[in-house]
């Protein structure tokens, strides 16, 4: 992508923030993660912008930074309240409830499994592309995805056909 760093952030910043949110399951941590990565990108922008597809490189940086982050929350509590039935609400509310439920389920997974599912289902990457981002084999990607989906099925009491 030719252009300035500011143009890149203007165009891709919101998508990077959404990716970070799906990885972290916390809006504030996602903002911190995105900011930390963009600071590093800014310092290397001349080199990164010269790549054929800098967005893939920046996404890799974001995922790797998330996987290696040493920050811990001040407490380990996660909200567990059941959500009310969206039956009386409109379609927009149903979408919000489903999105919140998905983020809540993803938050219960280990970081690497969460990253695999987010890259597969949100970023729509192939196993090979995910393996390149995570620097592992496609077989590892498939096993991580399988474990993550099994965990989600177990936590929701679903069968294999449901998920």
| Nearest alpha carbon to residue 36 among 17, 55, 53, 50 | 17
Higher pLDDT, 113 or 76: 113
In this structure, which topology does domain 92-163 adopt according to CATH? Arc Repressor Mutant, subunit A (1.10.10)
**Average pLDDT estimate for 70-80:** 47
- Per the rule left: phi > 0, alpha: psi between -120 and 50, beta: everything else, 25 is left
- Report how far residue 98's alpha carbon sits from residue 77's, in angstroms, rounded to the nearest whole number: 21
The answer to which of 96-100, 136-140, 154-158 has the lowest mean pLDDT is 154-158
pLDDT of residue 59: 92
| H or E element that contains 20 | helix 5-24
Domain 1-69: give its CATH architecture: Orthogonal Bundle (1.10)
**Domain parsing of the chain, residue ranges:** 1-69, 92-163
**Average pLDDT estimate for 96-102:** 77
**Average pLDDT estimate for 72-100:** 57
pLDDT at residue 15 greater than cutoff 60: yes
The structure's pTM equals: 0.60
pLDDT of residue 9: 94
- Report how far residue 17's alpha carbon sits from residue 36's, in angstroms, rounded to the nearest whole number: 11
């Amino acid at each position: 992508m030719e252009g300035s760093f500011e143009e890149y952030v203007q165009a891709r910043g919101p998508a990077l923030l959404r990716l970070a949110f799906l990885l972290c399951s916390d809006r504030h941590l996602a903002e911190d993660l995105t900011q930390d990565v963009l600071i590093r990108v800014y310092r290397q922008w001349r080199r990164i912008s010269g790549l054929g597809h800098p967005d893939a490189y920046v996404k890799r940086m974001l995922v790797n930074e998330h996987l290696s982050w040493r920050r811990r929350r001040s407490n380990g509590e996660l909200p567990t309240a059941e959500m009310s039935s969206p039956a009386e609400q409109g379609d927009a509310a149903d979408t919000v409830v489903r999105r919140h439920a998905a983020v809540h389920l993803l938050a219960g997974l280990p970081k690497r499994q969460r990253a695999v599912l987010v890259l597969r289902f949100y970023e729509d990457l192939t196993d090979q592309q995910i393996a390149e981002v995570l620097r592992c084999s496609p077989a590892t990607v498939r096993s991580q995805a399988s474990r993550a989906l099994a965990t989600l099925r177990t936590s929701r009491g679903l069968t294999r056909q449901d998920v």
